[in-house]
Amino acid sequence: MKSSNFKIGWKTILKLGFLAFLIAIPLYGLYFWYRLDEPMIIKSLPDPFILNNGTRVSTEAEWNLRRNEIKETLQNLEYGHLPGNPDRIEVTNLSSQDLGEGKILNTLKMTIIPNNSLPETNFNFTLWVALPNGTGPFPTIVKVSEEGTGSQEPARDQVLTRGYIYVCFNHIELDPDITGNDIIGPCQQAYPSYDWGSIGVWAWGAMRVADYLLNETWVNAPDGIPNVDPSKLIITGHSRRGKTALLAGAFDERFTMVVPNESGCAGAGSFLIQGYISETIADITSPSRFRYWFNENFTKFAGNEVNIPFDQHFLRSLVAPRLILSMEATEDFWSNPIGSQAIYEAANPVFKFLDKEENNAIHYRGGFHGFTSEDFDTLMNFADKMLLNKSVVGNFYMTPYNIEFPIYYSEPL
């Protein structure tokens, strides 16, 4: 009696594979939508009020000590250390453009001289200053990056119409941003003893823009300084530039209001509360991606978040009691909108402790990754309300995710 061998032809295999694919799509879709409101919680969010000596902050003076400790932790383990201001900044007006209706666009070159004894060691970056009609003093928005780059919509006309000065600067002239390539840019070359990554460099550049706008003593600007209201200086940026804006605003108290837009991992998002398909430390510090944005120490927490001694509410809390508005998009899953709500809530006790809970704000819109005209309207509406005392309609304290985050501390009594 002959035995027959059972064989499956390639057409049958193809059909079975296609059937499995058709079954997998709806199953994955169901799992995906289930996970949208079910983040991975790695551990509870650490208490920002615990001093390095183990005691807990009880006074505002002790909080100021704790702020310095947090700054050192973040520089040592995440962004690297930032220098102080340079000895001199020379500002040259390259061109002026009449935009009509009394509005002007000036293109400037900022020359940074770190050490007056070595004036030949210097570097430049470009600044665009758009001025509204009027004499001022004006509220002012500083945006990290050139106007309308990447997933950012042009906003100059929109901002000027609302009566704000609008300042953009070319951050990548300070340090290049080329995925997978750690290029030592002119800023790092001029400060070789510092361990900062690109985000730290760019944030330091934003601080130099503030030097110019606020007419600090080390700035020489023969063509004059725009009439900026120093009590209404806003820093913003989108995505990686949002991370930059948050760092600059947290470390430099001259920025009255800080607005990171969809800044995600190492920005306003959480390392410890990870929404489905959100970017992680392992993703962002991959050598083929953006390791060069950070201090080398940060890489040891890739896939090891359980041992990280902080989360980004530490950075957010440094802004207190000043104004912060983080802006998020509900479908921008990679930027971890759930984790951003967790960080917002985790920073609230610090703002409460300083009696400025209303200065800690968050806003969500529908849609995907981008810096849109809607986002700029939200930014200026919040600034109009909080800085200009205007009557504004809008919800700046949105918490769309009904999740009990592991925040087991409150403000000191």
How many of the other CB atoms lie within 10 Å of CB of 248?
30
Q: What is the pLDDT of residue 22?
A: 63
- The rounded radius of gyration (Å) of the Cα atoms in the chain is 24
Question: Tell me, what's the pLDDT at 150?
Answer: 85
Q: How far apart are CA 219 and CA 88, in angstroms?
A: 6
Q: How far is Cα 315 from Cα 271, in angstroms, rounded to an integer?
A: 12
The 10s digit of each residue's pLDDT in 197-209 is 999 999 999 999 9
What pLDDT does residue 389 have?
A: 97
pTM of this structure: 0.92
pLDDT of residue 37: 75
Average pLDDT, the chain: 94
Nearest to 260 by CA among 174, 127, 144, 354: 144
The pLDDT value given to residue 159: 98
* Contact status, residue 249 vs residue 267, Cβ threshold 8 Å: no
Mean pLDDT in residue range 287-301: 97
Tokens of 70: 């947090």
Give the per-residue pLDDT at 29. Answer: 52
Question: Distance of alpha carbon 220 from its chain centroid, rounded?
Answer: 29
- Work out the burial of residue 10: count CB atoms within 10 Å of its CB; fewer than 13 is exposed, 13-18 middle, 19 or more buried: exposed
Q: Give 108's Cβ-side CA count (13 Å radius).
A: 27
Q: Which amino acid is present at 66?
A: R
Report pLDDT for 60.
97
Question: Do 116 and 205 form a contact (C-beta atoms < 8 A)?
Answer: no
Predicted pLDDT of residue 149: 87
Question: CA separation (Å) from 366 to 68, 168, 329, 355, 406?
Answer: 37, 26, 5, 31, 26
Instruction: Tell me the mean pLDDT in the region 271-284.
Output: 97
- φ, ψ of residue 70 in degrees (nearest 5): -65, -45
Give mean pLDDT, residues 261-273. Answer: 98
**Which tokens is 77 given?**
């383990």
Q: What is the pLDDT of residues 374-410, one digit of tens each?
A: 999 999 999 999 999 999 999 999 999 999 999 999 9
Residue 167 Cα to chain centre, angstroms: 17
Q: Which pLDDT belongs to residue 17?
A: 67
Q: In this predicted model, what pLDDT tens digit does every residue of 302-328 receive, in sequence order? A: 999 999 999 999 999 999 999 999 999
**Residue 135 binned pLDDT confidence (cut-offs 50, 70, 90):** very high
Q: Tell me: pLDDT of 331 over 80.
A: yes
- 141 three-state secondary structure: strand
Query: By percentage, how much of the chain surpasses pLDDT 90?
Result: 90
Contact partners, residue 149, CB within 8 Å, separation at least 6: none
Tell me the mean pLDDT in the region 116-123.
Answer: 95
Q: What is the pLDDT of residues 228-248, one digit of tens each?
A: 999 999 999 999 999 999 999
The closest of 235, 265, 60, 238 to 140, measured between CA atoms, is 235
* Angstrom distance (rounded) from CA 173 to CA 183: 12
Distance of CA 292 to the CA centre of its chain: 16
Q: What angle do CA 285, 289, 292 make, to 5 degrees?
A: 60
Positive or negative torsion for Cα 410, 411, 412, 413: negative
- Provide mean pLDDT across the span 340-357: 98
The domains located in the chain, with CATH, are 42-386 (3.40.50.1820)
Reported as type and span, the H/E element at residue 233 is strand 228-238
> Which pLDDT band holds residue 112 (cuts at 50, 70, 90)?
very high
- The per-residue pLDDT for 152 is 94
Instruction: Give me the count of residues in the chain.
Output: 413
pLDDT in tens, 4-41: 555 566 666 665 666 666 665 564 454 455 556 789 99
Q: pLDDT at position 28, please?
A: 47
- Where helices occur in 128-232 by DSSP H, the ranges are 156-161, 186-190, 198-213
Task: Fill in the DSSP letter of residue 407.
Answer: -
Q: Which two tokens stand for residue 370?
A: 């981008």
Q: Is the pLDDT score of 107 beyond 60?
A: yes
Mean pLDDT for the stretch of residues 75-79 = 98
pLDDT at residue 34 in the model: 52
Distance CA 292, CA 178 (A): 9
Rounded to the nearest angstrom, the gap between the alpha carbon of residue 101 and the centroid of all alpha carbons in its chain is 33
| Model confidence pLDDT, tens digit, residues 64-73 | 999 999 999 9
Please say whether the beta carbons of 333 and 365 come within 8 A: no
Pairing of the two strands 40-41 and 165-169: unpaired
Residue 234 dihedral angles phi and psi, to the nearest 5°:
-115, 140
Structure tokens at 44: 């509870």
Which residue shows structure tokens 């819109």?
A: 365
